[in-house]
C-alpha cells in the first residue's frame, strides 16, 4: 500500500533514513504480520480469493471516509458525525431512488451535493464560528441520525435499482473470456498498476540521483520495489481468481491515489499540514486557514455521502441502523495509521493501512468464531497499542 | 549559618558540580564541566545557545536523573543523586524556566500553592493560603490581590509570581533561566533589584542570561560555557569585568564590534504609512495606534524604539495584513502607489514581510523540517500549476541554508530541534524567499546568542545594501543604535521622537519617552 508519491517526497539517507521511515514501514510490517498470523490461524481461509474480495468490499467505505477524516485530523480537528451522515445519505438515496423513482445519476449527484452541504454547515461552525469541532460534529451526529430515522420512519427501504447495486456488488466487465477460472482483464490491470508504481518509484529516484539529492540505499530500494510489485501482483491474482475487480475497489484505488497526490504534492495539501502544525504561523504566512478548514469539512461530507451510497448499495436497502459506529472505525483507522491527535501529522497511506489492519482483524476474528464482544476488546487494545508504539517511537 | 566576617570570595560552596559529562546519542552536550556556586552569591551562567547551559541546569535539577550523566553533584557539602525534579526541589533547588509555567485561568494564590496547598484533612485551607500568598507577594514587591487571575497580569508580574512560588518552597538555590528576556526595562530593573535583595537575605541564585549589561550589574561571579565545556569563571569583585571580555570568552573569537559596519546607500522613499490608526480587538474604545505616519527609503534601516506596550508590534501587525486590531484606518503606499495589505496574502504580494517577535508560536511550524518552513509563505515559487516540485523546494532550502549559515545536518532537520539563532535564520529565510521590498523585523534577536546576533545584523545590512527598506522593532536600545540609520520612538501608540542613527544614544531615546510621560 505505498503510493508512488510517498516515495517521492521522502528523500533520506543513512541511519536517519531508517529512523525516519520506521514509522511508515512499521505500520506496513504490522499489517503483513497480522495477515500472516490470521492466514495460519484460520487454516488458509483468510487469503482465499473469495475472502480477500470480501475484505475489500467490507472495508471500502471505511477507507473512503478515512481519506477525508485524515485531512480533518491533520488540520487538528475531528468529525464524529460521519457515521450518521453516511447513514442519512443512505436513507436519502432510498427515498430518492426507491420511493420517488428519480433517475440514478441525478439521485447520486443529489446525495453527494447534500453530503457536501452537510459538511459545509459543520465546517462553517468550526472554521468561522470557532466552535470546537468535537462539539459541532457531536451535535451533527445526533441531528443526522435523527433526520435519518425521520425520513425512513424506522423501517428499511429497498430494494435499490439493479444498476445502483452494481456500485458495491458489481465487478469489472471482462474483455477477454475467462473460462480458466482467472479473470484475465482484472489480473492484467493489477499487473499494470504494479508496474506503474514501480516505474514511478524508479523515475523519482533517478530524478533525485540526477539532482544529487540524498536517497535511500540502492539495495533497499530494489528490495522495496520487488516487494511492492509482488504484493500487488499477489492481491491482483487473488482478486481475479474470484470474480475479478470489484467496482468499489476501483473507486477506492482511484481515490487513494488522488488523495495521496493531493496531500503530498500540491500546495493546498501542504497548507493543510501547515494549518495543523501551527495555525497562527500558517496564517501569518499568508495561508487562508479558516477557508481551508471549511473545505476539509465539505470534502469530508462528500466522502461520507459516497460511503453512505456504497453501504446502501451493498446492503441493497436503506436501513435506520446503517452507519452506526462507522465514525469510530474511521477515526481509529487514521490514528492506527500514524496520524497525530494534535494535528499536523498523518499520511493517506497510513490511514489506508490502518483501515485494512482493522478490516483484516475483524474478518480474521470472525472466521475464528471470536464473539463480537471480544472482537471489540481486542480492537480497542490494538488501537491503544498502536498509538503507544507511535508515541514511543517519536520520543526516542 | 553564614559568618558575616567572611567576604563573598571566602564563603563555602553551596553547590559543586564536578566533571559533569552528558551525551545525547553521538552528540556530547557537556564534557567534564565543573561548576561551583558559593553560598549567598548571584552566579551568572553565560554562553552561546547550545553551549550547554540548559543541559547543565537540567542535570542539576534532576530532569536528567542520576546515572544518565557522568560526574558528581555536591549540594550543601553532601553528594546528591537526584532521581527527578522532586528530589532537587525537596532540598530547595528551584528552577524558573524561560517559558513561564503558570496556569492562566487560575488565581495567583492557586498557582503559588498548586501542588502543596495548605490544607486540613485534605480540604484546602483558603484563609491560610490567602495570607501566605499575601506575604509572599509582598516579598517580591507585588501589591496585587491573591485572587487575581494570572491572565490579567503582565509578563513582568507573572515572572514575579513565579518567583513568589519558588519562595513558597523554602528555596535555597534559585535558578532563573533568561528571567528578563520578555521583560521591559522597568520590570527588568525591578527583578534585578529583587535578586540583590535575596542575596542580602542569604538566598543563592544562578542566573542564565544573554543580557550582559544586566549580568555585570548584579553578578558576583560569572561562569562561561562554550561547546559543552567550562571556559572559566570570572570574579566581579576582583576588578570590573568588561562585557567584551565575556563575549570573547563565549565565542572564542574577536568580534570586531558587536555590530557589523555598513555604509548606507539610501534611495527614494519606497514605504509610506499615513494616518495609521488601530483599535484594540476586544476593548473597541482603546486606540492602540494613534494616527501615526512613517516613511522608509530604499536601503534604509529604521528602528522603532519604545517601552513594552508602546504599540510597536500592534502597529506592525496591523499594517501586515491586518493581523492585529479592529477599525483600522490609514493608507500604506509602496513605491509611491497605494498598496492593498488587507490580508496577509495581499500584503506579501505587495512586497511586505513581517518577521514576528515570537518565532516559536507565530513564526515556525516546529514539527516540520527546514525545507517546508522556508517555502511556506511562497509555495508558488517552488511549484507549477499547484503541484510542488520537491527537488526545486529542496534546492531553495539548501541555498538559504548556505547563504544564512543555518547550522543543521541538512534541510530535513526539524526546526523545533534547532537553536534559537538558527530558528530565527529559518524564519528570515522564509520571508526572504517571498522576495519582499520591505521587511519589518520584530525583536529579531530576542533570546539568541551573541554570535548569532552578529550574523542577523549582517543579514540586515545585506538586505539594506540590496535596496530593501528595513524596519527593526527592538527593546534593546544598543541594538537599534548599532544597526539603524534612523530611530523612531513610539510611546502609547504615537511616534514621540526621531533620532538620526549617528546621534542616537540611550539617553536621548529615553529622554524622548520620558518627556512625553512627564507631560
Q: Which residue of B354, B387, B395 is in closest CB contact with A266?
A: B387
Query: Euclidean distance between the first and final Cα of chain A, in Å?
Result: 26
* Spatial CB neighbours of A195, under 8 Å, sequence gap ≥ 6: A229
Q: Where are the domains of chain A?
A: 46-170+247-395, 178-245
**What cell does B515 get?**
518627556
**Count of other CB atoms within 10 angstroms of residue B324:** 20
Assign 3-class secondary structure to B404-452: CCCCCCCCCCEHHHCCHHHHHHHHHHHHHHCCCCEEEEECCCCCCCHHH
CB contact under 8 A, A286 and B344: yes
**Pairing state between β B221-226 and B486-491:** unpaired
Taking the C-alpha atoms of residue B348 and residue B42, their distance in angstroms, rounded to an integer, is 47
CB contact under 8 A, A287 and B361: no
Query: What are residue A318's phi and psi, to 5 degrees?
Result: -100, 110
CB contact under 8 A, A286 and B386: no
CB-based contact A236:A186 (threshold 8 Å) = yes
Res. B25 pLDDT band, cuts 50 70 90 = low
Reference B451, options B300, B281, B254; nearest CA is: B254
Size of interface A-B (CB pairs under 8 A): 89
Q: Which domains does chain B have, with CATH numbers?
A: 1-92+172-254 (3.40.50.300), 100-171 (no CATH), 257-351+436-519 (3.40.50.300), 360-435 (no CATH)
CB-based contact B210:B180 (threshold 8 Å) = no
Taking the C-alpha atoms of residue A281 and residue A89, their distance in angstroms, rounded to an integer, is 37
Taking the C-alpha atoms of residue A388 and residue A378, their distance in angstroms, rounded to an integer, is 15
Whether the predicted pLDDT of B5 surpasses 50: no
Map residue B71 onto helix, strand or coil: strand
Helix (H) or strand (E) holding A24: helix A14-41
Reference A390, options A17, A6, A27, A3; nearest CA is: A27
Best residue in A5, A286, A346 to probe B by mutation, most B CBs within 10 Å? A286
**What cell does B375 get?**
517555502
Best residue in A20, A284, A347 to probe B by mutation, most B CBs within 10 Å? A284
CB-based contact B439:B353 (threshold 8 Å) = yes
CB contact under 8 A, A9 and B394: no
**Count of other CB atoms within 10 angstroms of residue A33:** 10
Taking the C-alpha atoms of residue A308 and residue A289, their distance in angstroms, rounded to an integer, is 29
pTM: 0.80
* Spatial CB neighbours of B81, under 8 Å, sequence gap ≥ 6: B66, B67, B73
Rounded to an integer, what is the distance from CA A69 to the centroid of its chain? 9
Which ipTM score applies to this complex? 0.85
**What cell does A243 get?**
470474480
Alpha carbon of A139: minimum distance to chain B alpha carbons (Å): 27
Map residue A62 onto helix, strand or coil: helix
In tens digits, chain A (396 residues) has pLDDT values of 333 333 333 343 444 555 556 666 778 888 889 999 999 999 999 999 999 999 999 999 999 999 999 999 999 999 999 999 999 999 999 999 999 999 999 999 999 999 999 999 999 999 999 999 999 999 999 999 999 999 888 788 889 999 999 888 888 887 776 666 788 888 899 999 999 999 998 988 888 888 877 777 888 889 888 988 998 999 999 988 888 889 999 999 999 999 999 999 999 999 999 999 999 999 999 999 999 999 999 999 999 999 999 999 999 999 888 888 899 999 999 999 889 888 888 999 999 999 999 999 999 999 999 988 999 899 899 889 888 887 777 665
Residue labelled with grid coordinates 552536550: B29
What's the pLDDT tens digit per position in B176-219? 988 887 777 788 888 899 889 889 988 899 999 877 888 888 99
Q: Which CATH architecture has domain A46-170+247-395?
A: Orthogonal Bundle (1.10)
Which residues are bridge partners to B38 per DSSP? Answer: B13
Query: Euclidean distance between the first and final Cα of chain B, in Å?
Result: 51
CB contact under 8 A, A211 and B391: yes
Taking the C-alpha atoms of residue B140 and residue A171, their distance in angstroms, rounded to an integer, is 78
What's the pLDDT tens digit per position in B441-480? 999 988 787 778 888 999 999 999 999 999 999 987 888 8
Q: Which residue of A214, A278, A286 is in closest CB contact with B364?
A: A278
Rounded to an integer, what is the distance from CA B194 to the centroid of its chain? 20
Q: Which residue of A9, A273, A282 is in closest CB contact with B390?
A: A9
Q: Which residue of B361, B394, B409 is in closest CB contact with A213?
A: B394
Alpha carbon of B92: minimum distance to chain A alpha carbons (Å): 30
Amino acid at each position: 500500500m505505498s503510493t508512488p508519491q510517498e516515495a517521492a517526497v521522502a528523500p533520506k539517507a543513512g541511519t536517519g533514513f531508517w529512523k525516519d521511515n520506521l514509522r511508515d514501514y512499521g505500520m506496513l510490517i504490522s499489517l503483513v504480520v497480522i495477515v500472516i498470523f490470521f492466514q495460519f490461524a484460520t487454516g488458509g481461509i483468510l487469503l482465499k480469493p473469495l475472502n480477500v474480495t470480501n475484505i475489500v468490499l467490507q472495508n471500502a467505505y471505511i477507507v473512503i471516509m478515512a481519506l477525508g477524516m485524515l485531512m480533518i485530523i491533520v488540520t487538528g480537528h475531528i468529525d464524529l458525525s460521519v457515521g450518521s451522515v453516511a447513514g442519512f445519505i443512505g436513507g436519502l438515496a432510498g427515498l430518492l431512488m426507491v420511493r420517488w423513482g428519480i433517475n440514478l445519476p441525478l439521485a447520486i449527484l443529489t446525495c453527494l451535493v447534500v453530503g457536501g452541504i452537510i459538511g459545509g454547515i459543520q465546517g462553517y461552525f468550526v472554521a468561522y464560528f470557532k466552535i470546537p469541532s468535537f462539539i459541532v460534529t457531536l451535535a451533527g451526529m445526533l441531528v443526522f441520525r435523527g433526520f435519518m430515522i425521520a425520513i425512513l420512519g424506522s423501517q428499511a427501504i429497498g430494494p435499490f435499482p439493479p444498476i445502483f447495486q452494481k456500485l458495491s456488488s458489481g465487478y469489472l466487465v471482462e474483455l477477454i473470456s475467462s473460462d480458466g477460472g482467472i479473470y484475465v482483464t482484472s489480473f492484467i490491470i493489477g499487473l499494470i498498476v504494479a508496474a506503474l508504481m514501480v516505474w514511478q518509484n524508479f523515475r523519482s529516484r533517478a530524478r533525485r540521483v540526477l539532482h544529487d539529492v540524498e536517497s535511500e540505499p540502492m539495495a533497499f530500494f530494489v528490495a522495496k520495489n520487488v516487494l511492492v510489485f509482488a504484493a500487488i501482483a499477489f492481491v491482483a491474482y487473488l482478486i481475479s481468481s474470484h470474480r475479478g475487480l470489484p467496482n468499489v475497489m476501483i473507486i477506492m484505488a482511484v481515490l487513494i491515489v488522488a488523495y495521496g497526490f493531493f496531500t503530498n504534492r500540491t500546495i493546498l495539501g501542504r497548507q493543510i499540514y501547515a494549518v495543523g502544525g501551527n495555525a497562527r504561523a500558517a496564517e501569518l504566512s499568508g495561508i487562508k486557514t479558516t477557508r481551508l478548514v471549511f473545505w476539509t469539512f465539505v470534502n469530508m461530507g462528500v466522502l461520507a455521502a459516497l460511503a453512505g451510497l456504497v453501504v446502501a448499495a451493498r446492503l441493497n436497502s436503506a436501513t435506520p441502523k446503517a452507519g452506526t459506529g462507522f465514525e469510530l472505525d474511521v477515526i481509529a483507522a487514521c490514528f492506527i495509521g500514524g496520524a497525530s491527535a494534535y494535528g499536523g501529522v498523518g499520511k493517506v497511506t497510513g490511514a489506508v493501512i490502518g483501515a485494512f489492519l482493522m478490516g483484516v482483524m475483524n474478518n480474521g476474528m470472525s472466521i475464528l468464531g471470536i464473539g463480537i464482544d471480544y472482537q471489540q476488546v481486542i480492537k480497542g487494545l490494538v488501537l491503544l497499542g498502536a498509538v503507544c508504539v507511535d508515541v514511543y517511537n517519536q520520543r526516542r | 549559618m553564614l559568618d558575616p566576617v567572611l567576604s563573598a570570595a571566602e564563603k563555602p560552596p553551596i553547590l559543586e558540580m564536578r566533571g559533569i559529562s552528558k551525551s545525547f546519542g553521538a552528540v556530547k552536550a557537556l564534557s567534564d564541566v565543573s561548576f561551583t556556586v558559593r553560598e549567598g552569591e548571584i552566579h551568572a551562567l553565560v554562553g552561546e545557545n547550545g553551549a550547554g547551559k540548559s543541559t547543565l541546569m537540567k542535570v542539576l535539577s534532576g530532569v536528567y536523573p542520576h546515572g544518565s550523566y557522568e560526574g558528581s553533584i555536591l549540594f550543601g557539602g553532601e553528594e546528591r543523586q537526584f532521581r527527578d525534579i522532586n528530589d532537587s526541589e525537596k532540598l530547595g533547588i528551584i528552577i524558573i524556566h524561560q517559558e513561564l509555567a503558570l496556569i492562566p485561568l487560575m488565581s495567583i494564590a492557586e498557582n503559588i500553592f498548586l501542588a502543596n496547598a495548605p490544607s486540613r484533612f485534605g480540604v484546602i485551607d483558603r484563609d491560610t493560603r490567602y495570607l501566605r500568598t499575601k506575604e509572599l507577594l509582598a516579598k517580591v514587591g507585588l501589591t496585587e490581590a491573591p485572587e487575581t487571575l494570572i491572565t490579567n497580569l503582565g509578563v513582568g508580574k507573572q515572572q514575579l509570581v513565579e518567583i513568589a512560588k519558588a519562595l513558597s518552597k523554602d528555596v535555597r538555590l534559585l535558578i532563573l533561566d533568561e528571567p528578563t528576556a520578555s521583560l521591559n526595562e522597568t520590570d527588568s530593573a525591578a527583578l534585578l533589584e529583587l535578586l540583590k535583595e535575596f542575596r542580602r537575605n542569604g538566598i543563592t541564585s544562578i542566573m542564565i542570561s544573554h543580557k550582559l549589561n544586566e549580568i555585570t550589574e548584579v553578578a558576583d561571579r560569572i561562569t562561561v560555557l562554550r561547546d559543552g565545556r567550562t571556559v572559566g569563571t570570572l570574579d566581579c569583585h576582583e576588578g570590573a569585568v568588561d562585557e567584551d571580555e565575556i563575549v570573547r570568552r563565549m565565542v572564542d573569537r574577536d568580534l570586531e564590534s558587536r555590530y557589523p559596519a555598513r555604509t548606507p546607500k539610501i534611495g527614494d522613499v519606497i514605504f509610506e504609512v499615513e494616518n495609521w490608526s488601530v483599535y484594540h480587538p476586544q476593548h473597541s474604545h482603546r486606540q492602540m495606534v494613534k494616527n501615526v505616519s512613517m516613511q522608509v527609503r530604499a536601503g534604509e534601516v529604521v528602528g522603532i524604539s519604545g517601552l513594552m506596550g508602546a504599540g510597536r508590534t500592534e502597529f506592525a501587525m496591523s499594517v501586515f495584513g491586518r493581523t492585529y486590531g479592529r477599525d483600522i484606518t490609514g493608507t500604506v503606499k509602496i513605491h509611491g502607489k497605494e498598496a492593498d495589505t488587507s490580508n496577509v496574502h495581499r500584503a506579501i504580494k505587495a512586497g511586505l514581510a513581517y518577521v514576528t517577535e515570537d518565532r516559536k508560536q507565530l513564526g515556525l511550524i516546529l514539527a516540520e523540517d527546514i525545507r517546508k518552513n522556508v517555502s511556506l509563505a511562497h509555495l508558488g515559487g517552488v511549484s507549477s500549476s499547484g503541484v510542488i516540485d520537491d527537488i526545486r523546494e529542496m534546492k531553495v532550502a539548501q541555498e538559504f541554508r548556505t547563504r544564512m549559515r543555518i547550522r543543521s545536518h541538512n534541510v530535513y532537520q526539524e526546526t523545533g530541534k534547532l537553536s534559537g539563532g538558527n530558528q530565527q535564520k529559518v524564519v528570515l529565510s522564509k520571508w526572504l524567499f517571498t522576495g519582499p521590498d520591505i521587511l519589518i523585523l520584530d525583536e529579531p534577536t530576542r533570546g539568541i546568542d551573541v554570535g548569532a546576533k552578529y550574523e542577523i545584523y549582517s543579514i540586515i545590512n545585506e538586505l539594506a545594501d540590496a535596496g530593501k527598506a528595513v524596519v527593526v522593532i527592538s527593546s534593546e536600545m544598543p541594538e537599534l543604535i548599532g544597526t539603524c540609520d534612523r530611530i523612531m520612538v513610539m510611546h502609547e501608540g504615537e511616534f514621540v521622537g526621531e533620532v538620526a542613527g549617528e546621534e542616537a544614544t540611550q539617553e536621548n531615546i529615553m529622554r524622548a519617552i520620558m518627556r512625553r510621560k512627564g507631560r
